[in-house]
Structure 1
Amino acid sequence: MRRLVVIGLLLCLFVGAAGAADQTIPAGYTLPAGVTIPTTTSGVVQSATQTQDLSASAAPTSATGQLQVTGIKLDPEVLMYGDTGTLTVDVVNTATHSISVQRGTVTGNGAITVNDKTYTAVGDIGPGAKMSFTFTIKAGAPDGIYYPEFSLQYPEGTSLRYPVPVKVDSTGLVLSVQSQPDAYNAGQKDPITVSVGNPRQNGVSGVVLSAAGPSITMSPATSFIGTLGSNSASTATLNITPVAPSNLTLQVQFTNGLNRHTQTLVVPVDFSESKTRADMVLSNIVIKQTNSTVDLTGDITNAGLTPAKAVVVTPGKNVTGIDPYQQYVVGSLQPDDFSSFELTFNAAGATSIPVIITYLDADGNQFSKTVSVTLAGTADTSSAPDNSFPVLWVGLLLLAVLVVGFVIYRSWKRG
């Protein structure tokens, strides 16, 4: 009997040890913190602390290769020396989980300086989300391409680094005179057409052309052009009226982004005789003079290259006009066109008279030309009454009397 009890106790101990060795945790069960379970590895019992759900794996948090720069925008696209611009960098999370970012910065390289703005607490960027980072930069170097570095720092110490190309080109707008008069004259209004070209790699806005100069009146003084695209040009016409020889300063103002710039061009305004304006020429002059009254007829021709408006012919000083032609209104004369005219005036004791021709150009500027016409030796008096006996007739009569007397004398002598 005693042997059977001992055998039973040994069997119970064996079964309990086997149950402890086969102990497992049901799926989905989470152990409380600090609870340990005995395990065996290569016959050695070990103790492990479990604080996570053993049925699921933790989500990855690494950002390497999963945040990507998808867009860069610089306003203006190309900076001029000293310009301030706005740089925007777009970043997209291509992962399926959120990525934490500590800070975002742009580091200048001396040529490009950056404002103090730094994203010091960016936070999480969700899966598929886009985040934009904006910085203010300034060009402080000669023309060229520079590469300030954009970077994002992650909590684990790694970072995303991306060089951003920034162009600096100080080329300005180009001013040129497209057309102007061949000569300037005091008080004469003339148009001047100016071309404004943009050879830059980016467009500019707010383009305004203006002109000024001492002793020069402008109408209009400014012309608004507006936006001017890259490699494009626009023209504007200004009217100038100089009082004396001077220098005309043409100025164009434009905006590159938020930066205002100015270009100038100086045009000399010198007085000289125009080679293309109308030129009045008198021809076929016929003078009929009765005592002190003179009737003058002739032709007037426009020998110039531009039309003449409101052409008027009048006798000059010290000459008194007489009706019906105290002055003669010709009207308009095109280049190479002509018209007849007639003047009647009193020129007692005068050997020559001035004939004044006045006319206007297309802009209303008045011009005057004086032509001297000689009276001495050209007078036609055939229509004037004359009671004197002609000397020629007297000579002929005397000759006839002598001939008749000689014939009678000869006949008497023969008889």
Structure 2
Amino acid sequence: MHSLRPCLLFLLLALMISAVPVSAEPPTVMVADYTISPAVLQPGDVGTITAIIRNTATTATVSEKTGLPGSGAFESSKSTDIGVNIESVQLDSKDVEVISGNYKRVGSIGPGQSIPITFLIRAPAKDGIYFPEIWIDVTGGQSVRQPVPVNVNTQIALLKKPALTAIKTVPEAIGPGDEVNARVVLRNDGQSRADQVTVIVNCSSPSITQKTPSTFHAGSLLRGENTSIDMVFLTDKNAPIGINRVCLTISYVNPDGTITSQDEVIGIHVRGRAKIGIASLSTDPVRIRKGDPVSLVIRLENTGTDNANSVKATIDLPFAGNKAAYVGKIEPDNDAPAVFSLQAGSPGTYTYTLTVQYEDDYGVQTREERLQMTVLDGDATGVVIAGLLVFLLCAGAAYWFLTRKKGPGNA
């Protein structure tokens, strides 16, 4: 009997000093975030889904009590971190094809930690919103099922915004120094109203200035609504030939308060016009006689605002020789000679036509001028005899006058 007392005392102390777990947070995971790239897939496109898997548990707490039951004496506690062992992560869908990314035996992640998991997918052939599920299986915990929306060519997730289209109307072409009337029609082709619509003329060619204000306020434009803005520009006579740019900046306020700006360009086509005239006319020799070789030089000048290209001159004199001359290009405020080599015909005054053909931005142009040329008689015998007769008459008259003045008495 006395030998059993030490054993009973030991068992009593063991019952009084016992460790009792009070609470423990079960290990769990969750899909903390996900990213789909691209955000909107086209039918049949390949994309990715990246999911962030996180351990939601922080710590598991175990409390140990020591002392007599019910006395509350000698109580202590300690905390122990518990990891989560992920057995598998996979993407399941009947519509979205999973090309790769189903994972087995991912491993353990500690409390509060996370890991990224990426799936390679192919979008279905039809438009729509699809919801493949991310399945996560953990050891000793509950499995997680998280649907992820995949947008295939729909605008459901897009913010409705206005979209302004600028339709610009200008003359087909103007000449340097002309006034330009331009009209800009703003049309809202978007899904919502555009507020505080403003159009600013912010750059132009040095040869083009605005006659109307440089800033226009159009107010608000509802969906499908349009408004017209008329502008007038001035050009100087030195405006370069070709397309001259006038820059516009269009800005408006979106429904969410953000400001959208877009740049537009008005192209003003400045086309010059060549104008050919006669600067001078000369012949060699100056006095033309029958049968003489004649060099006729007609200098053509361009008093217009564009190059005169492929200039060709012809005359219709009834003489033998070269009656066509190719001049080439004559730039504005320049001249060039058209040279004709002729053989003078019968004496007389001839009226002939000079025809000049050239090209400019407006096409092929033709200009005609009526001119005259006089051909003298080529035989000079009559002139010599007449001169000799005049000389003899003058000499005879002088002799008679001197003889009569002296008279017979002065002999």
Please confirm whether the aligned pair reaches a TM-score higher than 0.5, indicating the same fold.
no
Relative to total residues, which structure has the larger strand share, 1 or 2? Answer: 2
Q: TM-score, normalised by structure 2?
A: 0.43
